[in-house]
A and B are shown apart, each in its own frame.
Chain A
Amino acid sequence: EAGVAQSPRYKIIEKRQSVAFWCNPISGHATLYWYQQILGQGPKLLIQFQNNGVVDDSQLPKDRFSAERLKGVDSTLKIQPAKLEDSAVYLCASSPRGVGGDTQYFGPGTRLTVL
């Protein structure tokens, strides 16, 4: 079974530039998550999709971050404009149902460096 795919794996940009990340979840998984993980910290949930609807985006900085999951499969996360503090690993995860206790499967992440 193919795992969660993410691209790019690494990205370096200057502050105020824009960047987009892509995620392809495990086939058939209803729920998709985007996390931000800053070095030395645990993952912080940015947004959770159930199929193509948003379940939770309470911690998404909506003035600069946006995400969509068209057709309930692939998803993109965009940052515009980027700030220095956005430097982090952006992890995408998917789970079969998204209910409490459902195992999350993570992609390899995109390591973003903002200069």
Chain B
Amino acid sequence: RKEVEQDPGPFNVPEGATVAFNCTYSNSASQSFFWYRQDCRKEPKLLMSVYSSGNEDGRFTAQLNRASQYISLLIRDSKLSDSATYLCVVISMDSNYQLIWGAGTKLIIKP
């Protein structure tokens, strides 16, 4: 089992819709979580951190479910510019704080 797993997609979503995807992690000692966004042929950029209490940034909401060991990303009122690959990142204290990256979920917003 991979340490961090994501549905590769693609998720094809009409503009204006709400879309959500999850990222599961296997190490229960994981303590920090992030969502990065990567546009086609570009470098990853931090989208948002994921806090235990959940957090929201505009149309984006990230949540953590420790019991089931997954994080989620919800995008409301999706825009064409949201089309990208969304990578989750997990940091575990017992892996020397190494960042473990998921393979990403590809999102395509259609007009």
Contact = CB atoms under 8 A, between A and B. Distances in A.
Pair from one complex: yes
A61 interface: no
B19 interface: no
A48 B99 CA distance: 10
B98 A41 contact: no
A25 interface: no
Given A40-B8, A100-B91, A108 B103 contact: no
How many of chain B's residues touch chain A, expressed as a range?
20 to 34
26 contacts: A41-B104, A42-B87, A42-B101, A42-B102, A42-B103, A42-B104, A43-B44, A43-B101, A44-B101, A48-B98, A55-B96, A56-B98, A91-B44, A100-B31, A100-B32, A100-B91, A100-B93, A100-B97, A101-B32, A101-B49, A101-B91, A104-B99, A106-B45, A107-B43, A108-B43, A109-B43
Interface of A: 40-45, 48, 55-56, 91, 99-101, 103-104, 106-109
